[in-house]
Amino acid sequence: MELKFVLYVGASPEKIWETLTQPEGTKATFFGSVIRSSFEEGSSYEYVGPGVDGDETIHTYGKILTFEPNKVFSCLEHPGPSYRPNHAELTTRITITLEPVGETNTTKMTLVNDQWTENHPSFETTAENWPMILSNIKTFAETGKTLDFGW
């Protein structure tokens, strides 16, 4: 099982990288969550924000596999403990690649979400959520604003 999305964003790889890793960008584009990590390969990370366990809900967590600023961010991911009792057994890999295009601030952003644990119960909802998240990342990086999904 694999999910793959390719977008072209009217922003530099640096601006998209900030959106993916800095609190202002992650709060705006990942449902109010921030990413906590040292961002070193092999280190742990958590997306933490408002949810079923209050403001400190761990939505996902895992391990940083590749971290090349402005180029590649790859991680092994587990759903948060409040979402699945067997969260530690459920894994998937996410890889985001940024490539400059042309001579202006245009970036090809590719997201591949693969290596799903067999019968992973979050595949369907993840397939629905990635287009919204990626559209929000694109809009935020280009305009500094987010989309209104009516939530």
Q: How would you classify the pairing of strands 44-51 and 34-37?
A: antiparallel
**pTM strictly above 0.75:** yes
Q: Angle at CA 102, nearest 5°, toward 98 and 107?
A: 25
Q: How far apart are CA 124 and CA 128, in angstroms?
A: 6
pLDDT of 110 reads 98
Give me the residues paired with residue 96 across strands.
73, 111
- CATH placement of domain 3-143: 3.30.530.20
Give me the residue spans of the domains in the chain.
Answer: 3-143
Q: What is the pLDDT of residues 60-85, one digit of tens each?
A: 999 999 999 999 999 999 999 988 88
Q: What is the pLDDT of residues 79-123, one digit of tens each?
A: 999 888 899 999 999 999 999 998 889 999 999 999 999 999 999
